[in-house]
Each structure stands twice: as C-alpha cells, then as structure tokens.
C-alpha cells in the first residue's frame, strides 16, 4: 500500500471522467491519479476473472464443435453476449490501449461471432421450446437503464453503459433454458455456466479491491450490472443444489407472461411459427380458416446425430 499512502485524494479536484477514462486513464493534469487507477486495475482478481472468462469461451466452443450440436445452450444468451461485447468495445476505435486489452476484446467479439455462426449452421439442434426467454425483456431494461444512468450522453458512453447492464441479463436465457430442462445438462454446459459465474465474481472482487485501495474510485454502472448477474448466478446454484430458487419461479412466470403477449400479437397478425417437439417438427400457423389455429404435422424428423 506504499504507493497509495503517498497520494492525497482530498486535494484532488473533481475530474470529469467518462467510462473509457476509468478503464484506460487519460493523459492530462491528473497523471498521478490515473497512474494509480491503472496500477490498481491490474490486480490478481482482474487476471483471474479474465482467464476464467477465456476458459468459459473455450469450453463453449469445444463442447459445440466436439458434439457438432448446440444442444443445452441458449442461442439468445449468445446473441445478447455478442451485442454486449460489440457495444462495449467500440472504444477500440477511440482510445489507445495496451496489446493485452486489444487482444482480449477482439477475441471476445470474434469468438462469440463464431459461436453465433455455429448456431446458424446447426440450428436444427437448438431446442427452441426451452430457449423461451424474451430478448425484449432483457434488452429493454438495459436500454432504459443506459439512457437514465449514463455519465455522459455521447454515443460511446451510452453504448458502454448499455453493455454493462445488458451483460447482467446475458445469462438469464441460459438459466431459463436450464430451469425448463429441470437443470439437466451435460458437463460442457455445466462447466460453461459455472465459469461464467466465477468470472463475474472475480471481477466483483476486483472492484472491491480497487474501491478499498482508492476511495474515490467509482464505477456504478459496472457494479449494478455485476450485482445483477451474480445474483442470478447464485440463485441458479441455490436452485441446482438445494432446490430452492426464488428467482427461478419469478423468471419463469415473467417469461411465460411475455411469451403469452407475443403469441397474442402473432394471433392478430398471422405469423407462422416453427416448433420442435422432440423428434416431431410442427408448423403452427396463426389465424387459420375460420379464425382457428391450424397445425401441420411435418412427420417424424431426425433433428441431429450427436
């Protein structure tokens, strides 16, 4: 703590720092402060969080490629995660950064682009009946929170804030998927979920460490998104091992209600939906003759060979 003890924060002026400055610092009159921020940002908790995050992505890619199947994973979680990373890492075009950050950020974007591509290639292995979480229910609160709680109303700042809140909801579709699957999953899915949760916990420890070392440090948007994500993760573990998940019932109830609204809208505008039921594929067409709902049996179809 020697370096920290030499810094007198009380004499420092209030500095208008955006989210990017918090991460990268800014070459200005407060060089001593930003050097301290940078120093304490690179701590053991941060490194553990980064490498566990990389491990989660490696597990995800290996499981999908090894089985040539996306079964057990939520496609909506992958879409939300990719959107969050793209929204957050636009700072690559605006701030000079270390090679470490550039490699990690580009790696996250590229890897989840590949994952989403694999979901398109092997879309017949996606269990849509379990991947029912509404994307709107995850994106809308994040967008509203970004508009209300951003530090600055610039494009990069609003999108960065949006990404922090959106990541808090990123794993919700995966949890809904597993709740509907009665928490049944193979080892690859289980390890992916566990690694994602641990990554966020280590990042929370990183924030606590930085706050303890630098009382003036504040990153409220990241903290709020992190608390939300960790809360969902701990509740999932509680439901998995103790069968007592308070949020599971709430999430599923909200999810069901949202999907009922979506179905009512589809009824009115006549949208067709493809539904996979085990090995039986059906096409449900809204508003058939006489206003009745029609189902067309496509026959027994083998979805994939795993």
pLDDT exceeds 60 at position 248: yes
> Which is more confidently placed, 98 or 300?
98
Enter the tokens of residue 102: 């550039």
- Which range, 37-41, 169-173, 185-189, has the best average confidence (pLDDT)? 169-173
Q: Report the alpha-carbon distance of residue 288 to residue 150 in Å, rounded.
A: 47
Q: How confident is the model at residue 247 (pLDDT cuts 50, 70, 90)?
A: low
- Among 3-12, 21-30, 33-42, 163-172, the range with the most confident prediction by mean pLDDT is 163-172
pLDDT tens for 98-151 read 899 999 999 999 999 999 999 999 999 998 888 988 899 899 999 999 999 998
CA distance 264 to 286: 10
pLDDT for 94:
81
Q: How confident is the model at residue 124, as a pLDDT?
A: 93
Provide the pLDDT confidence category of residue 40 given band limits of 50, 70 and 90.
low
Contact 37, 217 (CB under 8 A): yes
- Confidence band of 19 (pLDDT split at 50, 70, 90): low
Q: How far apart are CA 37 and CA 50, in angstroms?
A: 18
Quickly state the pLDDT bin for 60 (edges 50, 70, 90).
very high
Nearest to 80 by CA among 52, 47, 119, 46: 119
Mean pLDDT over 179-189 rounds to 80
Out of 2-11, 90-99, 112-121, 238-247, the most confident range is: 112-121
d(CA 157, CA 163): 10
The arithmetic mean of pLDDT across residues 260-270, rounded, is: 71
What does the alpha-carbon distance between residue 192 and residue 232 come to, in Å, rounded to a whole number? 15
Take residue 157 and report the two structure tokens written for it.
């700042």
| pLDDT mean over 211-224 | 88
CA-CA distance, 113 to 79, in Å (whole number)?
A: 9
- Tokens 């079964």 -> residue: 71
Between 72 and 245, name the one with better pLDDT. Answer: 72
What confidence score (pLDDT) does residue 78 get? 97
Enter the tokens of residue 132: 């029912």
Q: How far apart are CA 167 and CA 83, in angstroms?
A: 9
Going by the DSSP 8-state scheme, the letter that residue 40 receives in this structure is H
Q: Are 176 and 129 in contact (CB under 8 A)?
A: no
């Amino acid at each position: 703590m020697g370096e920290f003890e030499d810094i007198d924060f009380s004499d420092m002026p209030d500095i208008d720092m955006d989210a990017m400055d918090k991460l990268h610092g800014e070459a200005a009159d407060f060089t001593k402060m930003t050097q301290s921020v940078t120093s304490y940002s690179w701590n053991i908790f941060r490194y553990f969080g980064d490498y566990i995050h990389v491990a989660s992505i490696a597990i995800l890619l290996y499981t999908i490629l090894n089985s040539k199947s996306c079964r057990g994973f939520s496609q909506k979680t992958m879409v939300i995660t990719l959107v969050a990373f793209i929204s957050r890492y636009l700072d690559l075009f605006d701030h000079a950064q270390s090679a470490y950050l550039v490699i990690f950020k580009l790696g996250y974007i590229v890897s989840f682009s590949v994952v989403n591509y694999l979901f398109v290639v092997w879309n017949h292995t996606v269990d849509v009946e379990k991947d029912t979480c509404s994307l709107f229910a995850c994106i809308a609160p994040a967008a509203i929170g970004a508009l209300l709680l951003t530090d600055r109303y610039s494009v990069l700042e609003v999108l960065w804030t949006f990404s922090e809140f959106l990541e808090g909801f990123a794993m919700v579709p995966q949890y809904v998927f597993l709740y509907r699957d009665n928490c049944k999953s193979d080892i690859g899915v289980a390890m992916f979920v566990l690694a994602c949760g641990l990554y966020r916990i280590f990042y929370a420890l990183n924030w606590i460490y930085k706050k303890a070392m630098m009382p003036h440090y504040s990153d409220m948007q990241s903290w709020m998104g992190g608390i939300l994500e960790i809360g969902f993760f701990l509740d999932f573990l509680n439901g998995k091992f103790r069968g007592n998940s308070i949020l599971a019932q709430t999430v599923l109830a909200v999810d069901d209600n949202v999907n009922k609204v979506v179905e009512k809208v589809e009824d009115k505008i006549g949208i067709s939906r493809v539904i996979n039921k085990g090995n039986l594929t059906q096409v449900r067409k809204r508003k058939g003759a006489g206003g009745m709902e029609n189902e067309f049996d496509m026959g027994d179809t083998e979805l994939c060979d795993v």
